Amino acid sequence: MVTYDPEYLQQAHKASIFHKTQIEQSDICGCFYCLGIFYPDGILEWTDQGNSAGETAWCPLCAMDTVIGSASGYPVTDRDFLIQMNAIWFPGSDDDEADEL
Ligand SMILES: [Zn+2]
């Protein structure tokens, strides 16, 4: 298993927002909330319309704004990468489901 630097993972979050142009240039996308991998044309919904920085994709699988495209240069199809992103941005979300209200 590859272990990614936490700073690298922090930086990667920037590729998950205002990224419509980058998504359209990507061959494949990954979501670090549901760990899904899908093609850019699977994305049907966008947010941040009208934001000069660009629009942001909603994941077609879990409807979270946690999508990164391959054109970002991040290893979006590496499950280890997505799992470690999830651990940083959603700490505890994978081990305490029974405790959710
Ligand atoms: Zn997702």
- Taking residues 57-82, report their average pLDDT: 98
Measured CA distances, 20 to 8, 23, 48 (Å): 21, 5, 10
pLDDT value, residue 94: 56
Q: Got the DSSP string for 21-86?
A: HHHHT-S-EEETTT--EE-GGG---EE-TT-TT--EEPPTTT--S-EEEGGGSS-TT-HHHHHHHH
The verdict on pTM exceeding 0.85 is yes
Average pLDDT on 16-36 reads 98
Structure tokens at 33: 């909330």
38 CA distance to ligand 1 centroid (A)?
A: 9
Cα(35) to ligand 1 centroid in Å equals 6
pLDDT > 70: percent of the chain: 91
* CA 14 – ligand 1 centroid, Å: 16
Amino acid letter, residue 34: C
The length of the chain in residues reads: 101
